[in-house]
Amino acid sequence: MLHRWRDEAVRAGRTITRIALAFEAGRDGFWLARWLERRGVEAHVIHPSSVPVSREHRRAKTDRLDTELLKRGFLGWLRGERGHCSMARVPTIAEEDAKRPNRERESLVGERTRIVNRIKSTLARLGIRNFKPTLRKAAERLASVHTPEGMPLPPNALAELQRDMARLGFVVSQIREIEDARQKRLEQQPETGAHAMVRLLARIVGVGVETADMLVHEVLSRPMRDRRAVARYAGLTGAPDESGGQRREQGLARAGNARVRRGMIQLAWRFLLFQKESALAHWYRARTADSRIGTRKTMIVALARKLIIALWRFVTTGEPIEGVVLRPAS
């Protein structure tokens, strides 16, 4: 279709030297942009939330109007004007594939939690609360479990629990397989690209291999312009609301990578536990001396923002984090 439009323009007397195309980021990912680039088409992927729309409550919304809106924004972006829209970076297949193990493990961990909760709720309906499905020999002990009345488990409930235990064992084995494969890759290619970053981050006391792998492949291995871009991509920047004399903060913008945001909030709490003598920990304690819960929750986000910037500088430029304890290099 693009070539047909180009040929029609040439027949009309136009000289076509450039074909630029843009579409909104969606479920299909970036394969189309890579496919077009290989065929000589300049392809761009638009952040859907970056396109300004009318704030009228009831506005007409059709495919034609949406296309015209995207076209105006794309043309303004090509002219170099700010505020029209922003483009997503098109990753390579290797960069996208490197994220899959961590994301698959996250999904499997969630599935493991759901199965464990389902097993516990089934047993709780029978009055049994001392059974731990995550123990190594839990499946073998299931047949000897009795209700508080001293009766064995009902046959249908026992069959359901056995199937859940088998499913749980399969999910646990898949999680272990992903972790073993990742460890093998780190050992085979210790000094190449993202693997070197993962090993460097894992040297920080309080940062495990899983967290290091997630941070490197989700944010730290991406080419970032400056520290503001790092914090913005991590979803740890604020959303101010200013109008006239009114000034208020609406909380986190939540416009970045949700996995990185969740991981950094958890890492910030863990950082205070394992790196008590670091400069960032002292900075946090000095600003939460009033011991108010609201202050601590607000400042932990600020700590997470400072921490992701410090980690980015640490793995890209080698700038040390003041007061942070490192494990010996292996």
Give the CA count within 13 Å in the CB-facing half-sphere of 277. 5
What pLDDT, on the 0 to 100 scale, is given for residue 245?
83
71 and 31 inside one domain: yes
Give mean pLDDT, residues 291-295.
80
Q: Are residues 79 and 160 in the same domain?
A: no
**325 belongs to a structural domain:** no
Q: Does 190 have pLDDT greater than 80?
A: no
User: Does residue 321 fall inside a structural domain?
Assistant: no
Residue that is last in its domain, among 88, 107, 128: 88
pLDDT per residue as tens digits for the range 42-86: 999 999 888 888 878 778 889 898 899 999 999 999 999 988 999
Helix (H, G, I), strand (E, B) or coil at 45: strand
> 175 and 111 in one domain?
yes
- pLDDT bucket at 308, cuts 50 / 70 / 90: very high
Residues 204 and 177 in one domain: no
Same domain, 108 and 134: yes
- Domain-ending residue, one of 59, 88, 117: 88
Residue 330 lies in a domain: no
Q: According to the model, what pLDDT value does residue 146 have?
A: 92
pLDDT at 241: 83
With respect to residue 248, please indicate whether it lies within any of the assigned structural domains.
no
| Contact between residue 116 and residue 161 where contact means Cβ atoms under 8 Å apart | no
Looking at 39-43, 87-91, 187-191, 214-218, which range is the least confident one?
Answer: 187-191
- Output the pLDDT for position 57: 75
**Structural domain boundaries, residue 123:** 95-188
Tokens of 194: 């993202």
pTM of the prediction? 0.84
Per the structure, the count of domains in the chain is: 3
74 and 139 together in one domain? no
Q: Which two tokens stand for residue 290?
A: 């009033």
Judging by DSSP bridges, how do beta strands 20-24 and 246-252 pair with one another? unpaired
Whether 31 and 8 share a structural domain? yes
Looking at the fold, whether 199 and 288 belong to one and the same domain comes out as yes
Answer whether residue 329 is part of any domain. Answer: no
Burial class (CB in 10 A: 0-12, 13-18, 19+), 129: exposed
User: CA distances (Å), 247 to each of 122, 146, 240, 255, in order?
Assistant: 51, 62, 8, 21
Of the two residues 265 and 254, the one the predictor is more confident about is: 265
Nearest alpha-carbon partner for 111 in 172, 50, 202, 183: 172
Q: What mean pLDDT comes out for the span 213-228?
A: 92
Residue 328 lies in a domain: no
- Do residues 201 and 288 both lie within one domain? yes
CA–CA distance from 153 to each of 129, 136, 146, 272 (Å)? 13, 20, 6, 45
What is the C-alpha to C-alpha distance for residues 277 and 287, in angstroms, rounded to an integer?
Answer: 15
Q: Considering the domain boundaries, does residue 258 fall inside one?
A: yes
- For the chain, give the percent of residues with pLDDT over 70: 100
Q: Which of 256, 210, 265, 260 is nearest to 233 (CA)?
A: 256
The answer to the question of residue 323 being in a domain is no
pLDDT at residue 70, as a whole number = 92
Question: Do 103 and 155 share a domain, yes or no?
Answer: yes
Question: Where among 88, 116, 131 does a domain terminate?
Answer: 88
Same domain flag for 156 and 63: no
Q: What is the per-residue pLDDT for 117?
A: 96
Same-domain status, 177 and 216: no
